Structure formats: C-alpha cells, structure tokens
Structure 1
Amino acid sequence: MRVKLQEKSVEEYRNLVGEQVEQIKELAKPLQGLKVVHINATPYGGGVAEILQTLVPLMRSIGLDAEWRVIEAPVEFFNITKKFHNTLQGAGIEITEEEWKFYEEICKKNAELIEGDEDIVVIHDPQPAAIRNFARARSDTKWIWRCHVDLSTPNENVWSRFSQYVSNYDRMIFHLEEYFPKDKGLRGKCTAFPPSIDPLSEKNVELEPSFIAETLKKLGIDMEKPLVTVVARFDPWKDLFSAIDVYRIIKRELGSIQLAIVSAMALDDPEGWIFFEKVLRYAGMDEDIKFCTNLRGVGSKEVNVIQRASTVALHTATREGFGLVISEALYKRVPVVARPVGGVKIQIQHGENGYLAWEKEALAEYILELVRNESLRKRMGELGRKTVLEKFISTVNLMNYLRTFLQVLG
C-alpha cells in the first residue's frame, strides 16, 4: 500500500533553521533521482508514521525519488509483532514456533512491496524486518533497518532468532548508541541519530487563541485550572497508572488540578485496547482526568491544543525508544517532568528545560514546583524550544538520513 502525501519543501523551514537548508541541498547533490522506499506497519498512529509524513515529502523536495509503503497484515500478525516489541525491550515473553512461522509468512507476502527498482530500502521497526529475506531486489540495492525501540537489554532468546532477519542489512540505525546490539558482527553496521518532530505539521504549528479556547471547551478542559498532560500510547511500558498516581499526589496538595491523558489507538497495536480499558478503570470516576483520544475525535490539531494549554508535560514511561512527545512539548515551551529512560535523557537537561526522576513522589514534587513558579516555567520553556530547534527537528533528521545514504552507497 502506497501512502499518499502532501507536498513539502525544505524552503518552508528556512525561517526556523536558516543555513541548514543550504547544507541539505549540498548533501543532496550526489543523490539526485535516488529511488528510496520507506516501509513500516501503519500509515497513522505513533511516532514512525508522523516522522514519515514529513521526511518522505522533504526527500522528494530535494530531488530524491522517495516513497512510503505500508504492509498489509491481519490482527494476529500485529499481536505477534507487539510481542517482538516487548521482548526486544526485555520482556520475558515466549514466542512460539507457530508465531515465528506466521510472522515470516506475512512478511513473505509483503515482500511484493519491493518492485526491484529501488536503490535504498529503509525498513522501520520489527514488523516488516523479515521482508529483506524474501524480496526480489536488485543485487546492488542497499537495505537499512531503522529501529525505533530500546534494544539495550533484549530478551536474548528472542533476539538470537530475530537478529537473523536483520543480519544481512547494510546499515542499522538506532536512536542511541546504547541501543546497539552486542553482537560483534552487527555493531560495525550500526549508527545512531535521533528522530524528529515537524514544527510545521498540524501537531506543532502555531494556533489561534480562539481555536485553542474553543477546542478545550469541547474537550471539557478548564482553562482556569492547571493542566498536566501525558501523551502516550496505551502500552505497558508507558506506565499510565503511575501518571495517575502522580496526579493524585499533586491533587492532594493543590486541590485544583487536571490530568489529560492523550493517545491514539494505532492500527499496529491491538494490545492498546486492553490497556485502554485497564487505565480507564484505574482512573475511576474522577472528572478531572480527561481521556483525549481519536475515539473522541482528537487528532493532530487537538493534541497541539492540549499541549499548548498544558502547565507541565509528564512522561512516566519505564522504557522508551526516544519519546517524540517530549520534543513536542518542549518545542511549545512547556517544561517536561519525566523518568530518565532511553531517548528522554538526551532531550531533557535536568533543571534546565525540565526535571528527571524515577519515583512518583519526586515527579509530583517537581510538577508542584513548576505549577507554583510561573517565571521558572517560562525560563525552562524557552530553553526547551531552543533545544528542539538545534537537535530534534525535521531538517536535522533529513540531513542525518542523507549522510547515511551517502555512506552506504560508498
């Protein structure tokens, strides 16, 4: 399935990033006409889809022949690949022989996504990884696996078998060097650079105050009360139960506070419905906990509104590949209080643009400090936006990809 995309140009970002535009054009000169195909599991929901919605059109705008294709698979396949996701991040779950075979069977069918004229194929995450083993590609086609999960402490039984699907890739890209596999034969193929947010997307673009006020009213969010916001999938690693616990600690102290839990039910995550129900039950009848999901018509613009209206952003994940929602909040000048996991650690400088802590009581204390100190919030907010513009924006991600393409092509 080919994903239809709107046109974008690197020139649109010149006011934000200045000379980066010229650097991009210079890097792209030897790559004119290069056929690049990105393949992932879903056209919407989750960070990978959001990144590709911008990255692929930007590649086209500088002369690459770039496409985005999505696999087709039944729910059973995504139940299995969610097990891959969890075990590659360390969960002690067994994957049966029948599940391995079913995974390979679906990847084999989706190998038809490779038409044979590609110069570079970029496979995102575990779901389509085995396509490489079955595709009829040119012998000189270069294959890149972009892994968006934390591979630092995988379930070794699962990794020993799964690694066979990616061992013949030409390059493997991770968010952090600490995620590189320990296999000596693979480490030499690895590189690390972070993903990015698009400041001009619906999720991040500046909004009219009237639209913000109207949207908050529809969602039942009181603009007069402090708002703590968590943007995360309904996933065991996101630990939304702790987010509710932190909110309850703050509420006992302040009395007046709201918690917005913002999420999207993604096509490739059937487990999400189970955790959605569990989190709903845990929240109970507290009317100050607002569930803002695509089931209520909450899309990118509404997420943008909620983040901009937030007093503080909270992130309670216990494992995190990167956490683009951190950069989204920082870009909107909202300080973030989070657990120091994965890519979160490189986005938040403790005491500068937010706070890092493991314990729920400490997270609550930092939020209380920010709620009570407006000047501190503003100072941290400005530093947060500066951090994102320098490191975690679409044009930086694009440059990193271009450098990687030049390297694999020699």
Structure 2
Amino acid sequence: MVQIVEPRHPVSLADYESVADLSATVRSLRQEAESRLAGFDGRRLVMVNSTAQGGGVAEMLPPLLTILRELGVDAHWLVIETQEQAFFRLTKNLHNLIHGAGDPNLGAPDHAVYDRVSAENAAAMEDFLQPGDVLVVHDPQPMGAGALLREKMDIAAIWRCHIGLDRETAETRAAWGFLDPYLKPYDHAVFTAPEYIPGVLAGRATIIHPAIDPLSHKNRHLQVHDLVGILANSALVKPWGPVMSPAYSEPARRLQADGDWAPATEPEDFGLLFRPIVTQISRWDRLKGFFPLMEGFVSLKHGIEARTDLDEHHLRALQLARLVLAGPDPASVDDDPEGKEVLSELCAAYSCLPPHLQADIAIVSLPMSSKENNALIVNALQCCSDIVVQNSIQEGFGLTVTEPMWKRAAVMGSSAVGIKQQIRPDLDGLLIKHPGDPGEIADGLDALLSDEAKRAALGRSARQRVHDNFLVFAQVKSWLELLTNTTAACWPNCD
C-alpha cells in the first residue's frame, strides 16, 4: 500500500558551489553538517507524504533528500496509497478546515475511513521501517499511519504541517479536534509560521520555512533561446522558424470560447513574448483566489475607456495586458479531488464573459506527464510575466510566490500569513489586504502595470530576499538541527 520513491535530483552540492552567489552558502552548509551528524550516524531518515507529483511537498522532497544524502544522511521517501477516494475527499476537507474553510461536520464515518486507511498504510510502512529510524510525516494524509507506527515501534516521529491559519475558527477547531488523537504520539512537529501551531503542540513545535532549489528545472536561469524553445515546444507560442528541440508529446491546453480545450496557441498566439502578462500558477483550489483575480482583471479592463488619468504608456499597457490562469491537469494530482470541480467552475465563469474579454484571458491546463517539462513550462511562464500574482485566500507558505521572486518578477500577493512571511510590502512586492475584493485587485494590477521602474526595483529586492532566506540550503540546515536534537531527546543514552 506504499510506494517507495527514489528522490531523483541530478544536481550535486559541487554544482551549487560552482555558482558564484551560492558558493559561500554551500560551504557553510557542509560545515554545519560535519558538526552535527556524528550523533545521527547509523540512523535512517524516512519521509512520508501522499503524492509523488503535484504540489509543493512533492517538489521540495527530491532536492532536500538528495542534499541530505550527499551530506551523509541515509534518507528515504515513501508515498502512501489507497483506492478509497473517500479518504482523499476527507483529507482535502481537513486541509480546507485547517485553512478556515470546508465542512466542519466530521463524524464517526470520517474517523472510520481515516483509521482504516491509516492502519493499512502503517502495516505496509512497518515492513520498510526499522528501530532507530526517524520518521517525518507530511500533512494530514499520512499522519494517522505515522502515529500508529510511533506507538508500536522504537522510532522517532516528526509531523510536518505545511498549512495553517493565524486565528481559531469553528473550522480549525473541527480539524484539530479530529486530528488530536493522531498528533499525541509524535515527538515533535514542524510548522511554517508560529501562528499556525495549535495548542496541543505548544512547546513541541519548530518553524522551518519551505524553500526552492535554485538549479531545478523550475527555478534555473533560462537563456533567451531556452525560454522561447520551451514556450514553442509546449504550444504556448507559435514559433517563427525551426526549433532545435522537438515539441513536447503533450502540449499546454487552453480553454476555448466554445468550452473545448486546444493547444494554447489556439485560436491565436496569446502574446506571451510581446504583451504585458499577468500570471497566476497554482493548483485548482478555491483558496487560491482564481475567481476574484479574474474578476479584478475584468474590472481593470472595463474601466479603461472612462479614465482620464492615463498617460500614453499607461493606457497602452492596460489595453495590451493579458491574464494567464494556469494550473496542473487536475486528473494528474491524485490527492486533490476538488481540482476538477474548481476548474470546471472557473471555465463556466469564463464562458459568461464577452468575446473581447475572453480573448484577454487564458485558462491553461499544464501537462504533468513529464515532471521536467512541466517545471520548465512553469519557469518559462513566470519568466515572461510582467506581474506574477498569488491571490490566495489562505496560504500555508506559497512556493508559487518564492519562485517568481527568485526570478526578479514583480509579485502581487495576498496578505495570507504564508505570503506575508516572504513579501515585505512595497519592498519585495505588493500585498493586497482583501484577496476577495476585485476592486482592490484591479487597483494593485493598475499600480504595477503603470510603473515599469517600480516593477524592476521590487524584482531586485525579491531576488535578494529569497537568496538570504528561502533557498533549499537554509531548509537543510534547519532539518539537520531538528533531526539531531530529536534523536538526542528520544535516545538520550546513545553515544
């Protein structure tokens, strides 16, 4: 019932060290590992989550585990599996409840399906684990299995929560009340922000920020030929001549006016390389704020002709601006059954727009059959965007903010806690207070589209902010400290 995943990541520490602005950071990381890992010798680290692709956790684990291995940690990755779709519907609801949304009416049938799937996966994981292992469980899906194993085996267990809300509501109380019995066996927990830590975990939780890999396909620097080639190969732009590499087997697909899907260059090239482009790339999730973002963009377009405050450049920018709403093919993300429903609702809203506004908005489904191609497509889309938006109603952290910040994009985010941890207002990007307010969204887009120099300044500061705080090396350092402290606490008499 569990899948063993090999964390394939082709980049070595030497590769990072060869990059001028990363070399000092890598040397510091090596020194940290050498001083800490003596107490971890002979133990294994086993990380568990619920999907091998799609979402931030699945993207973070390969570089994290690969670097830990190179530093000397015997690290492994397991993915839980089940055929019970009711389990993933439940855990998606728990995810939403922790964010303050969803149905708080959880009862005996919910516990029954959670306990049943947890027991099945715990039995399968037990065959892989051995005494002395440190088990790190990511998010609510595998939490129950990890709790059962901690009670049964001589292992240490850490729960890593990537989500949260900075206030208590009926929804959050329902979620933490449901999860409380499964939390108690864990030795420690890890959160993204102190505001997210529930009372049951007070005093036994650590803050570790998620991070990006600067040399991954999604975040590496793209030369002009690479950028244009990726857009052409994925059918996001029409090539003007021969392209060196072959077209991807599965193109990006764009919603058409008649409701069908076609390559994203249909019915015409969208203008990614020439027009001012506003982009949001996220999973299809109601909490990502796709609907008010589209409404805000429509409001911005509606108001152009009546305005008398626009100089020629500003007017031209507003007239030519286009919006890209992109996310993964929802059929490819196993643990998110809500994705298809949200995308369908977004498509229905798009179909109600007049043709001239439909022409200025592209809803794009990104192929997931190749992780590498998908990452390169996201990279290229972010690089050719003048503004990258993350309009989340709630956001645990938001690597979709970190990524464009690293690429020096002008980023407009909501004031969700995870995003506020990254963007310092008017220094690294723009924050809006009410992500559900189309008028405020329109004003934010207008301010950024009017001022090219401001966008450039925000991008420069954002890049430095990520370099100093949100690259994978900082995350690895934090995990090294937590792993050695946890093993010392669980086995105090071991040398």
State the TM-score, normalized to the length of structure 1.
0.94
Map of 1:90 onto structure 2 = 100
The CA deviation at 1:9 is 2.2
After superposition, the C-alpha distances for 1:174-233 in whole angstroms (9 at most, x for unaligned) are 0000001023xx211111121001111111111231232341405433022110000111
What is the letter of the counterpart of residue 288 of structure 2?
K
CA contact (8 A) 1:151 1:181 kept: no
Map of 2:467 onto structure 1 = 389
CA contact (8 A) 1:3 1:68 kept: yes
Alignment pair present for 1:113 and 2:158 = no
Map of 2:60 onto structure 1 = 51
After superposition, the C-alpha distances for 1:314-348 in whole angstroms (9 at most, x for unaligned) are 11111110011001010011011111002100111
What is the letter of the counterpart of residue 76 of structure 1?
A
Higher mean Cα deviation, 390-399 or 88-97?
88-97
Alignment pair present for 1:17 and 2:5 = no
The CA deviation at 1:295 is 4.3
1:211 to 1:116, Cα distance in 2 relative to 1, 3 A: closer
Alignment pair present for 1:339 and 2:352 = no
Map of 1:133 onto structure 2 = 147
Alignment pair present for 1:404 and 2:407 = no
Map of 2:251 onto structure 1 = none
CA distance in structure 2 between the partners assigned to 1:28 and 1:356 by the alignment: 37
1:59-74 counterparts in 2 under 5 A?
A: 59-74=68-83
Residue number among 177, 182, 202 corresponding to 1:187 in the alignment: 202
What is the letter of the counterpart of residue 129 of structure 2?
G
Map of 2:282 onto structure 1 = 232
1:176 to 1:136, Cα distance in 2 relative to 1, 3 A: closer
CA distance in structure 2 between the partners assigned to 1:121 and 1:294 by the alignment: 33
The CA deviation at 1:159 is 1.5
CA distance in structure 2 between the partners assigned to 1:206 and 1:137 by the alignment: 46
CA distance in structure 1 between the partners assigned to 2:364 and 2:43 by the alignment: 41
1:311-326 counterparts in 2 under 5 A?
A: 311-326=386-401
Q: How many corresponding residue pairs?
A: 408
Map of 2:260 onto structure 1 = none
The CA deviation at 1:164 is 1.2
Map of 2:7 onto structure 1 = 5
Alignment pair present for 1:156 and 2:199 = no
Residue number among 11, 32, 37 corresponding to 1:27 in the alignment: 32
What is the letter of the counterpart of residue 28 of structure 2?
Q
Residue number among 217, 234, 255 corresponding to 1:202 in the alignment: 217
1:350 to 1:192, Cα distance in 2 relative to 1, 3 A: same
What is the letter of the counterpart of residue 2 of structure 1?
I
The CA deviation at 1:256 is 2.0
Seq. identity, %: 29
Higher mean Cα deviation, 341-350 or 1-10?
1-10
CA distance in structure 1 between the partners assigned to 2:281 and 2:42 by the alignment: 38
Residue number among 259, 262, 280 corresponding to 2:323 in the alignment: 259
CA contact (8 A) 1:40 1:70 kept: yes
CA contact (8 A) 2:11 2:215 kept: no
The CA deviation at 1:133 is 3.2
Which SS does the other structure have where 2:320 is aligned? Answer: coil
Map of 1:292 onto structure 2 = 364
CA contact (8 A) 1:259 1:288 kept: yes
1:338-377 counterparts in 2 under 5 A?
A: 338-357=413-432, 358=434, 359-377=437-455
The CA deviation at 1:34 is 3.2
CA contact (8 A) 1:10 1:395 kept: no
The CA deviation at 1:139 is 4.6
The CA deviation at 1:138 is 7.5
What is the letter of the counterpart of residue 280 of structure 1?
C
Map of 2:312 onto structure 1 = none
After superposition, the C-alpha distances for 1:119-148 in whole angstroms (9 at most, x for unaligned) are 211100000000123327875421110001
Higher mean Cα deviation, 277-286 or 324-333?
277-286
After superposition, the C-alpha distances for 1:7-49 in whole angstroms (9 at most, x for unaligned) are 4422322223333223322332323443101100000000000
